[in-house]
Structure 1
Amino acid sequence: MTLQLMARARAVVHGACAAAVLATGLLIHPGGEAAVPSPTVVGPVPSQAPGSASRDYPWMSTMHNLAAVGYVEEEYFIEGTANRYNTAVPLGTNGSVVSSGHPYRTRILVRRPVSPWKFNGTVLAEWQNVTAGYDLDAMWGASFEHITRSGYAWVGISAQRVGVQGTPNGLRNWSTTRYGTLDVTAGGTVVDDSLSYDIYAQALQALRQPTGVRPLGKLEAKRVLAIGASQSAGRLQVFINALHPLIGDPVDAYLLYIGGGRVRSDLTVPIFKLISETDVPPQVASRQPDTPLFRFWEVAGTSHSGRRTVLNTRPLLARDGVAPTVGDCARPPYPRVPIQYVINAVYDHMVRWVRDGVQPPSAPPITTEGAVIQRDAYGNALGGIRLAEFAVPTALNSGANTGAAFCILYGTYIPFEQSLIDQLYPTHGSYVAPVFTQAHDTVRDGYVLWQDALRTKHLAAHSIVGHGTPCSATCRAAQDLLEASYFYLYTSGADDELTHKVIRVIKALSRGDATGGQTQAVAHKLVRHTLNDYIDDVQRLQAKGRLSQVSASELVNGASAILATLP
């Protein structure tokens, strides 16, 4: 059967099953038994303003102005009874029910288009990551721009004990007022997360076949993609290998991001694995060849946890009263290679894969000898998907680092010395031209979407590379402010105007660093004027309700820190 016919057949089967069992709220497994019940849904749960001292609002409520892009954030509680499963089975063997009837109550967080006309029919159902001891919407933070511009619905599912009942930052401990009734341990009798798989599946069923309250409102889910990052990808790997034939009916495809090992090859739904450079050495033994229903991509110059995670979580943790995990790394962390662009492309590929049977392209792996990544003269990895920000290098961007806390996940970013930059790119055009070419090629090859390639080209065209002017620590802080401005201002409608102001600041600082003296004094005067205007603009956006207090504070603090360094 061709992939196109398989996709059409799957759509027909979903529609037929839905019609046949709507009254019972169950999907019927091919073997005849009821597979996944639809849980009771309560909500949307009323909320106070994020940041309220009452903590009666959704944990990690987004800082972005969703209303400005036609989206809404709502939280729901779901409850029912879940099975415990034995998942410790050989690859290719199904798990089995150990015991049944375990009560649970948890939450799902929904960010969706308000209008059905904006909805593209696809739900991204994220298994919330709990590695840091709290629920983390890692996939949302990476791709919220593409999610909102393309009409996806995103749903975060809290399935694990640490995220719901962990100490000190599980949901119940963080806000007894809001989350005191949540429990994914059946009253403390099941504390090994063995209920999490059925809880997750039932949450998906609430999206696919709601029997009462509809978490998606008027939206009809045509496709549900199960997605998870890192530890959550590992949970999805277990779900795929042991349980998909039993309770995977609501899932149309899986994305395992920066985690998860080998997966079984006999399923009839697509599986996509996407990993960063950090993940390659431990994943070498788990590499699998592509098949009509499996893809494995590796992105060079990227880290397991990067700048996007920092931009998304740092201000929300501060708002919600949680101390971030800190530690000194051996080398400067966070590569500046935007792996989120590849994630965005993967989502669109998965939709076509499920809907039309169109397979994504294959991609070359990062070059390894054994489990050791092979590198060029600058220390950058060979092979893999090579984004323009990496293939036309201005820095060491590596997935490796060491040090305290989670430093091994943060990668390394060390800008090249100015002398090397001047040698590589004697003119601005000698930098911009290969960036444009590589950006074009990554779109042609299917690894990046044209919208993201356009931003890559824009930043290259407005960069200081090839002008023979240096970038001091203050200049680099302005470059970080540029990235933050795009992230926090995206939904405000003012991102173009304010990012161009930051670009002017970067160029002025670089010119001043190159010349010194009176020219530098004039440059610093321009920087002060521009940044003060920038701060005023940000505060006006906040006053008009177009920018949250959280986002405004991040941007004002970033600009103020640059001003404080000027003589």
Structure 2
Amino acid sequence: MRALACIVALGALTAPVAALAGVDKVDGPIPVTADSQVYNTAWVPGALPVVDLAAQGYVEQEYFLHGTADAFKRDPSGALAVLAKDVSYGTRIVVRRPKDAAKFSGVVHFEPIHPSQGGTSHWVAMSGYMMAHGDVYVAVGLGDDAPSRAISAKGPVPTAQSQVLQWFEPQRYGAIQWPKEDGIRYQLMADIGALLRSDRAENPLRGLDVRRMLVGGWSFTGSVQRTFINEGFHDRARLPNGKPVFDGYLIGISSRWNGGGYIPLNSEEAVTRNDDPRRSLKPIDVPVIEFMTEFEVGTGPGPQLPDSDAEVGAHRLYQLGAVVHGASMIDGNPPREKRPNFVQLAAKGYPVGGAKGEEALNTCSLPISDVPHGALARAAVENLRQWTEKGVAPPHAQPLAWEGGNIRRDATGNPVGGLPVAEFKVPLASYGPYKGTDLPACTPAKGRPIFVRTNLDAATLKGRYGTVHAFAKRYDAQVDAMVAQRWLLSEDAAMLKAKARRDAEAQFAAK
């Protein structure tokens, strides 16, 4: 029985046990040819973003992993017990690393692959940051989920990521065989993390000095981290020296008070109630940052875990107003169907725009909120990095403010509280739900709302700032303060200043 296949009391801290890398076989790097491509590769012409790894001195390699893992359940007493033992799997990882090992920073970013069409939001938001630092990125296939399976079963094309792989390239991905029991994902997450930090000959990162491994994920893959932590897998996933396999977690756009904020422990378990104590983030021996948008906060208004600098339970809560889930993580707000995996699928006839669960998000004709979600997320990752590497605690942020059951907004119409965003402090626009009634595509009757950017008119801007130069001076000062307070990286600050000046020049001149 593997180290994780043990019975522990709910919520009890377990003695450190070395995580055994339960990966029996590693194949790869899998060759890439004109007829056999990596799915969701970094370089896809026509995609946004498209990343030229070679120009950055990086290489991309795909590996197939095979073995067995256990799935778990809670018994009537609340103890964790084995539900299914030694379940066979075949999955994959995609590694992006410096071609020159001497340029490796020592930091690995570990992202679970999303079960719906195999997305990797952490990579699309962080790729430039990672490569600028010489980091290694690893995308890890950790299975499907009940909704993606159900949509796949209805057709006409699959949605579950393991099935999408075989639809995309059946010859290349025939070895990917994920079981119906998704609950093995938690042990497998620990096993693959341990493999990547081992001296095993099969380790794709063997020979690299991995000093830190940071987990990052958004939406479902953020929630996977919460379940991994709360069900005790982090506590038991240990290296031979007793240290944790993972050194820090960024839980993105996931709240314990949202239905999807906690992933079931196994495929038979029902979704836990939002007020279930299992959802309350458990204190662990590495830092955790939760990064939520107004959507998660507004749809789950329960109390959140407070910030802490404690050695066990280190935690930060960051809430970003005027953003809906992951719609604006990519700079420039390209439509979701422009992401590399969707461009690849569309090229093979996949109905990207109409596939249930991934409908096109560009149906609203108004400008979508361009609050710099990605830039703020990159700063959060840098803060997590400094916390784990140097013990430098990140800054504290206010929560979003409430008023009458809704997120409070200022006189301009922008949210109050949350991350100190320059777009709210020195505004050119108001950000939030479309208030009109003549554009039904901008006010969907079901599903997620759409937050739009409503520009202030020229007269209002001139009355508030006087000139473009005066606006830019105030905006730049606010951005500089954000950099000094570690809410923004300097490279992103320069990009935001240039964009704001362009926007201001156009708006001041508008008739």
Instruction: Judge same fold: TM > 0.5, yes or no.
Output: yes
1:134 to 1:375, Cα distance in 2 relative to 1, 3 A: same
* Deviation (angstroms), 1:318: 2.6
TM-score normalised by the chain length of structure 2: 0.77
Following superposition, the deviation at residue 251 of structure 1 comes to: 1.1
Indicate if the aligned counterparts of 2:336 and 2:360 stay in contact, CA closer than 8 A: no
Correspondent of 1:148 among 84, 108, 131: 131
| Residue among 300, 316, 323 paired with 1:295 | 316
Give 1:425's aligned amino acid.
Y
Which runs of no fewer than 5 residues in structure 2 stay unpaired? 7-13, 44-50, 239-243, 257-278, 354-358, 435-441
TM-score, normalised via structure 1 length = 0.70
Letter in 2 for 1:151: G
How far the C-alpha of 1:419 sits from its partner, in A, is 3.2
User: How far is 1:114 from its partner?
Assistant: 1.6
The reply to whether residue 212 of structure 1 matches residue 192 of structure 2 is: no
Structure 2 equivalent of residue 245 of structure 1: 235
8 Å CA contact retained: 2:89, 2:178: yes
C-alpha separation between the residues in 1 aligned to 2:394 and 2:121?
A: 23
Q: Say if 2:32 is the partner of 1:47.
A: yes
TM-aligned CA distance change 1:253 to 1:427, over 3 Å: same
Q: How big is the shift at 1:87?
A: 5.8
Structure 2 counterpart of 1:422, one-letter code? K
- Partners of 2:506 and 2:38 lie apart in 1 by 47
Where does residue 47 of structure 2 map in the other structure?
Answer: none
The one-letter amino acid of 1:368's match is W
Instruction: Select the structure that is richer in helix.
Output: 1
Give 1:181's aligned residue: 175
Aligned residue for 1:119? 104
Alpha carbons 1:426, 1:466 under 8 Å: kept = no
Judged with a 3 Å threshold, the aligned counterparts in structure 2 of structure 1 residues 26 and 86 are, in CA distance, closer, same or farther, namely: closer
Aligned partner of 1:196 in structure 2 is 185
Equivalenced residue count is 432
Instruction: Determine the C-alpha separation between the residues in 2 that align with 1:214 and 1:371.
Output: 51
The answer to whether structure 1 residue 441 and structure 2 residue 493 are counterparts is no
Aligned ranges 1:499-514 → 2 under 5 Å: none
Among candidates 283, 291, 296, match of residue 274 of structure 1? 291
Q: Which has the larger radius of gyration?
A: 1
- Equivalent runs, 1:324-343 vs 2, <5 Å: 324=353, 325-326=359-360, 332=366, 334-343=368-377
Aligned mates of 1:217, 1:142 — CA distance in 2: 27
- The Cα offsets for residues 375-408 of structure 1, whole Å up to 9 and x where unpaired, read as 1123211111122233221122237874177543
Q: Say if 1:336 and 1:389, in contact at 8 Å, map to a contact too.
A: no
Distance in 2, matches of 1:260 and 1:175, equals: 35
Q: CA deviation at 1:345?
A: 1.4
Aligned-partner SS, 1:102: strand
How far 1:78 sits from its partner (Å)?
Answer: 1.1
Cα deviation, 1:478-506, whole Å, max 9, x if unaligned, reads xxxxxxxxxxxxxxxxxxxxxxxxxxxxx
| Residue 312 of structure 1, CA deviation | 6.8
Identity of paired residues, percent? 26
* Shift in CA distance, 375/76, structure 1 to aligned 2, threshold 3 Å: same
Is the CA contact 2:247–2:287 (under 8 Å) kept in the aligned structure 1?
yes
User: SS state of the match for residue 509, structure 2?
Assistant: coil
Q: Residue 368 of structure 1 aligns with which residue?
A: 402
**1:56-101 deviation digits (Å, cap 9, x = unpaired):** 21111112111111111111111111010126999xx873332321
Q: Separation in 2 of the partners of 1:68 and 1:219?
A: 21
Q: Once structures 1 and 2 are overlaid, which stretch shifts more, 240-249 or 97-106?
A: 240-249
Q: Does the alignment pair 1:36 with 2:20?
A: yes
Per the alignment, do residues 405 and 67 of structure 1 end up closer, same or farther by CA in structure 2, a change over 3 Å counting?
farther
Query: Residues 466 and 313 from structure 1, CA distance in 2 versus in 1: closer, same or farther, beyond 3 angstroms?
Result: closer
Letter of the 1:403 counterpart = P
Of the three residues 88, 100, 104, the one matched with 1:103 is 88
Letter in 1 for 2:444: G
Q: Is the 8 A contact 1:224 1:253 kept in 2?
A: yes
Matched position secondary structure for 1:284: coil
Is contact 2:336–2:361 with CA below 8 Å preserved after alignment?
Answer: no
Greater Cα offset, 320-329 or 193-202: 320-329
1:1-16 residue pairs with structure 2 within 5 A? Answer: none
